[in-house]
Amino acid sequence: MEMTELGQLRPSRPSPEPIELEEVGPSVAEALRSIYVRVWEPVASGGRIEWSAGDWETELLRPGVKAWLPRVGGETVGLVELELEPTGDVGIVVFGLVPEFIGRGFGGAFLTATVQLAWNMSSERPVRRVWVQTSSGDHPNAIANYKSRGFVVFQTEPKQTHGSR
């Protein structure tokens, strides 16, 4: 799914409590690993479940990759990773809330803030597109949240099953 201009963003209603986004780096790789597992283990999804803290550290050292931890009342409630590509595209590579904050009115506001971060990632040249890859394996509310914020589908692929090509 993608947005090709900031004007496509349809902000959500405000969250029940303020969400503060803290940019983090490789030094908190273990915390990122732990939060990622908390977010994706319940939906049996996520390609990084087996990543070590070292894998996370290596990821965050790559050019253009940045991560933030959203906090509500000082409590970490999720994770977002963005990647600024040389083309000017920004990928929302990782985005999710911990289970106890799902369904409480935080997801839309968190995604709105994430999209705003993405559109402001480049100081060298304008961001030309913000995209996200999602699937039916993500949380059931994920695709609806992306569409509600203004993302549109630009490509679909059939679900791969064991033994298929």
pTM: 0.90
How would residue 165 be classed by pLDDT, with cut points 50, 70 and 90?
very low
pLDDT of residue 144: 87
Burial-class residue 152 by CB neighbours within 10 Å (0-12, 13-18, 19+): exposed
Residue 159 pLDDT > 80, yes or no? no
Mean model confidence pLDDT for the chain: 90
Q: For residue range 135-146, what is the model confidence (pLDDT) as tens digits? A: 766 777 888 899
Q: For residue range 86-98, what is the model confidence (pLDDT) as tens digits? A: 999 999 999 999 9
User: What is the pairing mode between strands 2-3 and 129-132?
Assistant: antiparallel
Average pLDDT on 76-81 reads: 96
pLDDT of residue 164: 37
| Domains observed in the chain | 2-149 (3.40.630.30)
- Residue that wins the pLDDT comparison between 44 and 104: 104
Burial-class residue 77 by CB neighbours within 10 Å (0-12, 13-18, 19+): buried
- Of 70, 65, 57, 58, the closest CA to residue 28 belongs to 57
Strands (E), the chain: 2-3, 20-24, 65-72, 75-76, 78-84, 89-97, 129-132
